[in-house]
Structure 1
Amino acid sequence: MAHTGAVEAGRQAGSLRSAVVVNPVKVADPETLRRTVGDTLAAAGWAEPLWYETTVDDPGRGQTEQAIAAGAEVVFACGGDGTVRACVSALVGTEATLAVLPQGTGNLLAANLGLSTDLAAGLAVAVERGRRLLDVGEVDGQHFAVMAGMGFDAQMLAATSETTKRRIGWPAYVVGAVRHLRDRPMRVEIRLDDQPPLRRRVRSVLVANVGRLQGGVTLLTDAEPDDGYFDVAVLSPRTLRHWLALGWGVLRRRDRVPRMEEFRARRIEVTSNRAQPRELDGDLIEPGRTLRAQIHRRALWLCVPRPEQAPDLTEDAAAAAERGEHLVEEARGEREE
């Protein structure tokens, strides 16, 4: 059976040391989570994981640094976008590997791995030891693995309530988006590496390492997580008709999407005529007039569905979910014997 091979692979890897950095606010049943994770890792031959809870003052970076100092080789980020991003910041440039156990409703990194809030799938991906060394972006000393944004995308996040997200999941972001479709555009100057600046009237500028949005929608089809470049999307719809054309173009994955320009760069600086909301990996940061991003090449080890070098990070995600269910069931059976 497929899950047996995964368990044996884990045992051959030795008694791996791991840690779980969990946001307790995002977890409905902490006891079940802890038991499931511990039993599954034990069945795969891993040591008992260390556990750290995030706090309001520290959403995960300090806890991840503690885990690394304690010898953790794999750090499970268990929470929403903020938890994952905090863990990323601590793991950049280290040999420890990030594994995602998404518990939030709009987790961007999980979406780009093809993972939902399926705990079993996240565990299977980690246990099977598929790893990939990813580029990481930096804005104002803060890191992101997926995407930085300024303008409409951050407005949408700010307008989406936690209550609505818990009730209906990622479609809640559509509700937030509708509230800002008719907002006025911003005037921006965009500098890409050492090229002359571009001047535009836009609704949003997205600086992406990988290309999927909430709900798994692919915005940038050519974005690769380890090519040393950002893929930049400049969105300039002004009317409802423009928005519909842009959305339809994205959904149909046309080579050219109406009202969207695409660029590539290692460094990007966006300066607006007024302060704008900003976000990193679906997590709001302080508003500002400037979004200045630089890329760190191959700076983060990430557990990914196999095969590790597939162009799309979601490769094998559905099969990994099935193997994960077998893995969890086997672990549960061993505990009950």
Structure 2
Amino acid sequence: MTIPQDATTQPAAEQRDGRGPLRTAVIVNPNRVEGLDELRAGITDQLAEAGWPEPAWLETTAEDPGTGQAEQAVEDGAAVVFVAGGDGTVRACIDGLAGTQTALAILPGGTGNLLATNLGVPTDTIEGVQLALDRGRRVVDLGEVEGKTFAVMAGMGLDAAMVDDAPTKLKAVLGPVAYVFSALKHLNDAEMKVEVQVDDYPVLRRRARTVIVGNVGRLQGGVNLLPDAEPDNGQMDVAVLAPRNLGHWIQTAFGVLRPGRHKVPNMEVLRGSRITVTSDRPQPRQLDGDVIDESTTLDITVRPDALWVCVYQPDTSEDLTEGSTEED
């Protein structure tokens, strides 16, 4: 099949809204994904069978984990950017895609893959590519901290310390279980005194172990910490966790895991579009599993409708004739 020349030179939004082939790029983390030659051949062949042009192939580096590559793909006119790697690679690419019309297509390849999990994106590469071919799209919000974006969760305190201390080799062997071992090391860390300001509501002052701000709710292992969080409502849910001893942690864990829960012991949940967490001393912080510099402040602004993501095509198989009557 001959690809019309103008089909691959249109702006991303026009390509997306049209019916022809789309220009694409693949950003891959070579340290997280095995079998790069097979991956490249498989994606290229699957796109070619659908009549789409060969994708640009961009690899991340230690100096640039994905942001520059995503910006280059957008500049070159890609309507879809496939990202093969873990949560860190996805987050770095989101920095380059935020606010553009280019859609993110996740090809999970790391430990957590939390954005993919929360949006129902399959872990199989063939199915992941098919999502882009089927043109299912969803626009989601992003959080922004000091010029960096996140799509899943930001954390301050024990949450970030746990992420920071989970060894890469252990995560490769044990997966999400590695975070359990890391968390156990920090259960007895000193509490932090925090002030949490959400929009124009009164300041919440608490002694807390961690504060987590979620655009979506599911953690590693499928644990649904924030079941009411929605990635496209213009707000984020804020969990302030304040267990003081092992018994409290057990109560909180059972509360989170309990089906149909209404309230979790030792945890308060707020919601808003501008969140500022201030601690009495510098704390570790993380964005989608990427640890950033320690600070006394985690200042988050929600950017509504900031990222297009390839997801399953909405079901349009409903009977459209329901309720109608045949003419005599």
Q: 1:33 aligns with which of 26, 32, 39?
A: 39
Q: Which SS does the other structure have where 1:25 is aligned? A: coil
Of Structure 1 and Structure 2, which has the larger fraction of its residues in helix?
1
Supply the AA of the counterpart residue of 1:293.
I
5 Å matches for 1:177-326? 177-253=183-259, 254-307=261-314
State yes or no: 1:53 paired with 2:59.
Answer: yes
Over residues 230-271 of structure 1, what are the superposed CA-to-partner deviations in whole Å (9 max), with x where a residue is unaligned? 111111111111111111111114110111101111101001
C-alpha contact (below 8 Å) 1:113/1:305 kept by paired residues = no
- Percent identical pairs in the alignment equals 56
Partner amino acid, structure 2, of 1:274: R
Q: 1:173 to 1:118 in 2, by over 3 A?
A: farther
SS at match of 2:31: helix
Consecutive unaligned residues of structure 1, counting only runs of 5 or more, are: 1-9, 310-337
Cα distance, 1:127 vs. partner? Answer: 2.1
Moved more, 247-256 or 112-121: 112-121
Q: Return the offset for 1:196.
A: 2.2
Counterpart residue type for residue 251 of structure 2: A
Q: 1:45 to 1:36 in 2, by over 3 A?
A: same
Query: 1:117-132 alignment to 2 at 5 Å?
Result: 117-132=123-138
2:222, 2:53 → 1: CA distance?
33
Aligned length: 299
CA drift of 1:308 comes to 7.9
Alpha-carbon offset, residue 115 of structure 1: 4.1
RMSD, aligned α-carbons: 1.7
Residues 1:156 and 1:308: Cα distance change in structure 2 (over 3 Å): farther
Q: Output the amino acid matched with 1:139.
A: V
The 8 Å contact of residues 91 and 288 in structure 2, kept in 1 or not, is answered as: yes
Instruction: Provide the secondary structure at the position in 2 that maps to 1:89.
Output: helix
CA offsets, 1:186-225, max 9 Å, x none?
1111111122211100011111111111122111111111
Q: Contact conserved, 1:132 with 1:308, CA < 8 A, in 2?
A: no
TM-score (norm 2): 0.87
Q: Which has the larger radius of gyration?
A: 2
| Residues 5-154 of structure 1 mapped to structure 2, 5 A cutoff | 13-115=19-121, 117-154=123-160
Cα shift at 1:276: 0.6
Comparing 60-69 with 109-118, greater Cα deviation is found at 109-118
TM-score with structure 1 setting the length = 0.85
Distance 1:308 1:238, change over 3 A: farther
Is the 2:208–2:241 contact (alpha carbons within 8 Å) kept by the matching residues of 1? yes
Which residue in 1 is equivalent to 2:7? none
